[in-house]
Structure 1
Amino acid sequence: MTTPAARLAARLAPLLPPRAIVTDPDVIAQSLTDWRRRYRGASSLLFAPASVAEVRAIVDAARAEGVPLVPQGGNSSMVGGATPSADGRAAILSLRRMNRLRHLDAEAGLAIVEAGMILSDLHAAALAAGRRFPLSLGAKGVATIGGLVSTNAGGTQVLRFGTMRALVAGVEAVLPDGSHYDGLSALKKDNRGYDIDQLLIGAEGTLGIVTAATLRLVPAVAARCVAWVGLASPDAALALLRRFQRATPALESFELLPAESLAAVLAHIPATRAPLAGTYPWHVLLEVTADTPADDPAGPVERVLAMALEDDLIDDATIAASEAQAEAFWRIRESISDAERATGPAAQHDISVPVEAMPRFMVEAAAACDARFPGTCASGFGHLGDGNVHFHVRAAPGTDPAHWYAEQVPVVSAFVHDLVVAAGGSISAEHGIGQMKRAELERLGPPGRLAALRAVKRAFDPHELFNPGKLVTLAPAAPIQ
């Protein structure tokens, strides 16, 4: 007896080119594990469409055969959001072949980009036109536009430009009923009811398969000033942030990290070195940019840092003397996750709290975790300006990783998330819910929010055809007709 996946492949064989239907287990295996290698799924079928028409054909056939689809871009999800379940029921729908830059209008500051385009390629294309796309993150060489839209990605420039929601002017998608939603026109005023674009942004592929997006571009950086600061506490860092925000509207990034995060990078990432000669409990990496050659980004940075040193708000600081040194500073920040992964297993949390509460939270939550789980080491780093903390609790030395992830991490994460909710925060700031945080969202999410999420999912995808088991589920699931 043939399987549903086999019937689906046979149904689509006359409609799609051979390269769009992948059944080779060795090729599919590369898409079955998440970036952190925390989740491993199963699937015997992967689709690689190259057009909206091919995506629609796949969705129509999958719905007819009752085969769920897991959309996948760069497979860089931090929460298992693009990994199929272990039961092998779902087919993977890879958007990587849909990677064209359809249109770029430098004067209008808009680009229409297909879902499979890699972020760093968009950066290069925009720069060639004298513009830039102001969202960057450590996985920029792997992450795709569709994935960034579907997870409402943040990154290091949210402070000035906002998350992906603020940078998306329109979305194109294929919906679970096979219909084509075209919202790419980037209208500034459109009062035709619910904002479908915004529903699709951050939906993690559970409402529609994003095939393209119209993105906002800004002027290319004419000059930038990158500085590294050593200081005593997160409270001092917040006071420094407020000074910079009063001094200049061009502050793009303000990253806070503890000494242990810097130490991990220096120990595990080759060719990195400490920016400052001394040792300090906390560090700040900041960047101020200029959009025109007439602007001077270094002036405000030098003035604010000089006054902060004079007021004993900070202990030391250095300004990058070259682009190479600026990139070296940023390499430290972007390598923290890789470095901490090399130090051993950890319970990793992408959370947000109100900005004014962030300094106290970082210190008190770390102390609470260390006391509650003896032998562990907790610390947070991240985007101070937008209240996004990457809060990690590292296992005690010698801990068995399998035991840690299966037995300890759920307990640790529940403890951390309770602290977050008590502080008025969110258990997911920029990585999404995926499958990693779904149970915690159900445990801690306000009933009204959960009811609304399920109502939206039921309206778009009542048979849970798209990315089942992620973000929110419907119970009981309706049978596919």
Structure 2
Amino acid sequence: MNQEGIIETMVELAGRANVLADANDMAPHLIDWRKRHTGVAACVVFARSVEQVSKILAWCNGAGVKVFPQGGNTSVCGGSVPDKSGNSIMLNLAKMNRIEEVNARNNSMTVEAGCILADLQDAAFAADRLFPLTLGAEGSCQIGGNLATNAGGTNVVRFGNTRDLVLGLEVVLPDGRVWNGLRTLRKNNSGYDLKNLFVGAEGTLGIITRASLKLFPKPRAMATAMLGLDTVEAAVSEGLKLQAAFPGELVGLELISQSEFDISLRHGTNMRNPFAKTPKWMVLVELAAATGGSEALADRLTDSLQPSFEDALITDAVIASNEQQRADLWRIRHHVTEANGAEGMGLTHDIAVPTYRIPDFVERAGAALAEHYPQAVPVIVGHMGDGNLHYIAMFTHEYWRAVEDKSGVQLKLSHLLYDIAADMGGTFSAEHGIGALHVPEMSVYKDATEIDMMRQIKAIFDPRDTMNPGRVVPGASA
């Protein structure tokens, strides 16, 4: 099928106003937001209903036209842009953005996949409830993409990944059939839990069009603090103490290196250093309680930190006394990705190891970086409560432009660090997903039997490899 035929059919199925075929109009959808991954497509299609998605997939599957789903295009792994073939479509669900129901009595909400994450948070809050998924891109990422990548974020330590927030899904399969699994039950033991096949599948098995999500009571008390420490060992030790001291109340536990902290302040707007002297390591901690007051919760947090102050394990601490101060602390954390892009070429590694082994990883990774790539500065930020570190090798733009074999450097460096994580029982991909970038690592670090099972699942749902080919599953492309 040539591009003209694909475009004509998409206009028939979705309407002319919902199809972009001009190169300039398509351009923002064919490159990722970090400007590192590009692709080519016949057109970009904006579906407005599940019926349209069904017709589009059925036709593409029969015609041999590949489909690349796209949400807010905030992927950092090349998973939200097409390949280079050109005879494919981008299917974007941004116009399917209705919040259909917020049920406070059932602690659930039912939404379309194109809803912006921040809008879901606001809708839950308006109903005196909490939708706890939160991450730096929440103002632009869509819940369909969050589901497809099983997004993590800063509240995983208390509420889990996106997978843990899903009650039910509606999914359009590659052949156009619609599976309606939109349930809001907490217990349903009637056969295979099919929804979990699609959460984290990155659109390779079908397209999530609607979701039923869990809500929680809105917190009545919040306490937020940023701690300063001299060593990563002290930071992790304090984090483990806080997890033990505040079970059920600890919702955020973030680790930030001095290098990352300085970058965020340097390139951010309306940023303020809360410390008189910047510590070598920082821990951003947040507590939330369903009862009581914020002042009392902050007092409890202060009391729990006192022994570490007396032992000089904590060198400084800033405890937010109002919502503006809380927002200022979180702004430093949430701005790191944009700030890193302004600083230089940061090669990010989304690893996870058992939390108590974070100091071991930081030490070994730092030694490997110093030996093989002394031009790079280690920049570290991560969700310490669940062992997920974003370990970034930061090169200057000038140095990186001069590197001839960029892909070779990236692959060698990544495997240096992934080998260390694997040796500690960790993973090379904790929350960002696989996309196109990490498919080679799947064959290196995943068990052969596990890869074979994934290929079999892909073949059952998508035997023609219509959906997001070249992503997630090694060797799945036809």
Fold shared, TM-score > 0.5 on shorter chain = yes
Q: 1:234 aligns with which of 211, 232, 236?
A: 232
**Structure 1 counterpart SS, 2:256:** strand
Asked if 2 retains the 8 angstrom alpha-carbon contact of 1:355 and 1:387, the reply is yes
Partner in structure 1 of residue 439 of structure 2: 438
C-alpha separation in 2, matches of 1:47 and 1:387 = 38
Partner in structure 1 of residue 357 of structure 2: 357
Partner in structure 1 of residue 105 of structure 2: 107
For residues 443-475 of structure 1, the C-alpha deviation after alignment (integer angstroms, 9 at most, x for no partner) is 222112111111111111111100011111445
C-alpha separation in 2, matches of 1:423 and 1:59 = 42
C-alpha separation in 1, matches of 2:291 and 2:375 = 51
Partner in structure 1 of residue 262 of structure 2: 263
**Structure 2 counterpart SS, 1:431:** coil
Partner in structure 1 of residue 69 of structure 2: 71
Larger mean CA deviation between 406-415 and 54-63 belongs to: 406-415
- Quick one: structure 1 residues 176 and 280, their matched pair in 2 at CA, closer, same or farther if it must change by over 3 Å? same
- Quick one: structure 1 residues 15 and 440, their matched pair in 2 at CA, closer, same or farther if it must change by over 3 Å? closer
For residues 60-118 of structure 1, the C-alpha deviation after alignment (integer angstroms, 9 at most, x for no partner) is 11112211100000000010101100121220000000000011101111000110000
Asked if 2 retains the 8 angstrom alpha-carbon contact of 1:377 and 1:396, the reply is no
Asked if 2 retains the 8 angstrom alpha-carbon contact of 1:25 and 1:44, the reply is no
Larger mean CA deviation between 394-403 and 424-433 belongs to: 394-403
Partner in structure 1 of residue 413 of structure 2: 412
Task: Specify the code of the residue in structure 2 equivalent to 1:424.
Answer: G
Q: 2:148 aligns with which of 117, 127, 150?
A: 150
C-alpha separation in 1, matches of 2:396 and 2:124 = 45
Partner in structure 1 of residue 371 of structure 2: 371
Following superposition, the deviation at residue 293 of structure 1 comes to 4.1
**Structure 2 counterpart SS, 1:400:** helix
C-alpha separation in 2, matches of 1:111 and 1:213 = 8
C-alpha separation in 2, matches of 1:433 and 1:19 = 32
Asked if 2 retains the 8 angstrom alpha-carbon contact of 1:453 and 1:472, the reply is yes
Following superposition, the deviation at residue 435 of structure 1 comes to 0.5
C-alpha separation in 1, matches of 2:11 and 2:365 = 55
Partner in structure 1 of residue 195 of structure 2: 197
- Quick one: structure 1 residues 294 and 348, their matched pair in 2 at CA, closer, same or farther if it must change by over 3 Å? closer
- Quick one: structure 1 residues 148 and 371, their matched pair in 2 at CA, closer, same or farther if it must change by over 3 Å? same
C-alpha separation in 1, matches of 2:424 and 2:8 = 53
C-alpha separation in 1, matches of 2:60 and 2:344 = 41
Asked if 1 retains the 8 angstrom alpha-carbon contact of 2:133 and 2:152, the reply is yes
Task: Specify the code of the residue in structure 2 equivalent to 1:169.
Answer: L
Q: 1:140 aligns with which of 138, 141, 166?
A: 138
Partner in structure 2 of residue 179 of structure 1: 177
Following superposition, the deviation at residue 42 of structure 1 comes to 0.6
Asked if 1 retains the 8 angstrom alpha-carbon contact of 2:7 and 2:42, the reply is no
For residues 32-67 of structure 1, the C-alpha deviation after alignment (integer angstroms, 9 at most, x for no partner) is 001221111011211111110010010011112211
**1:394 is aligned to 2:390:** no
Percent identity among equivalent residues? Answer: 38
C-alpha separation in 1, matches of 2:6 and 2:410 = 38
C-alpha separation in 1, matches of 2:234 and 2:221 = 27
Unaligned 5+ segments in structure 1 are none
Asked if 1 retains the 8 angstrom alpha-carbon contact of 2:66 and 2:467, the reply is yes
Asked if 2 retains the 8 angstrom alpha-carbon contact of 1:49 and 1:97, the reply is yes
Following superposition, the deviation at residue 271 of structure 1 comes to 2.1
Aligned length: 475
**1:216 is aligned to 2:214:** yes
C-alpha separation in 1, matches of 2:448 and 2:430 = 19
Following superposition, the deviation at residue 299 of structure 1 comes to 2.6
> What's the TM-score once normalised by structure 1's chain length?
0.95
Following superposition, the deviation at residue 404 of structure 1 comes to 6.4
Asked if 2 retains the 8 angstrom alpha-carbon contact of 1:152 and 1:163, the reply is yes
**Structure 2 counterpart SS, 1:399:** helix
Task: Specify the code of the residue in structure 2 equivalent to 1:338.
Answer: E
Partner in structure 2 of residue 309 of structure 1: 309
**1:289 is aligned to 2:288:** yes
Asked if 2 retains the 8 angstrom alpha-carbon contact of 1:362 and 1:379, the reply is no
- Quick one: structure 1 residues 105 and 331, their matched pair in 2 at CA, closer, same or farther if it must change by over 3 Å? same
> What's the TM-score once normalised by structure 2's chain length?
0.96
Partner in structure 2 of residue 382 of structure 1: 382
Partner in structure 2 of residue 298 of structure 1: 298
C-alpha separation in 2, matches of 1:228 and 1:166 = 27
C-alpha separation in 2, matches of 1:391 and 1:171 = 33
For residues 225-270 of structure 1, the C-alpha deviation after alignment (integer angstroms, 9 at most, x for no partner) is 1101100122212221222222222011010111111111121112
**1:324 is aligned to 2:324:** yes
C-alpha separation in 2, matches of 1:331 and 1:404 = 35
- Quick one: structure 1 residues 475 and 309, their matched pair in 2 at CA, closer, same or farther if it must change by over 3 Å? closer
Asked if 1 retains the 8 angstrom alpha-carbon contact of 2:368 and 2:416, the reply is no
**Structure 2 counterpart SS, 1:297:** helix
Query: What is the alpha-carbon root mean square deviation over aligned residues?
Result: 1.6
Asked if 2 retains the 8 angstrom alpha-carbon contact of 1:104 and 1:111, the reply is yes
Following superposition, the deviation at residue 195 of structure 1 comes to 1.5
Partner in structure 1 of residue 79 of structure 2: 81
For residues 167-220 of structure 1, the C-alpha deviation after alignment (integer angstroms, 9 at most, x for no partner) is 011111101121101111123333333221000000000011000111101111
C-alpha separation in 1, matches of 2:404 and 2:125 = 47
- Quick one: structure 1 residues 396 and 45, their matched pair in 2 at CA, closer, same or farther if it must change by over 3 Å? closer
Asked if 2 retains the 8 angstrom alpha-carbon contact of 1:5 and 1:67, the reply is no
C-alpha separation in 1, matches of 2:117 and 2:397 = 36
**1:346 is aligned to 2:346:** yes
**Structure 1 counterpart SS, 2:413:** helix
Asked if 1 retains the 8 angstrom alpha-carbon contact of 2:465 and 2:477, the reply is no
Larger mean CA deviation between 245-254 and 422-431 belongs to: 245-254
Partner in structure 2 of residue 472 of structure 1: 473
Partner in structure 1 of residue 452 of structure 2: 451
**Structure 1 counterpart SS, 2:399:** coil
Following superposition, the deviation at residue 358 of structure 1 comes to 1.3
C-alpha separation in 2, matches of 1:419 and 1:341 = 25
Asked if 2 retains the 8 angstrom alpha-carbon contact of 1:370 and 1:378, the reply is no
Partner in structure 2 of residue 274 of structure 1: 273
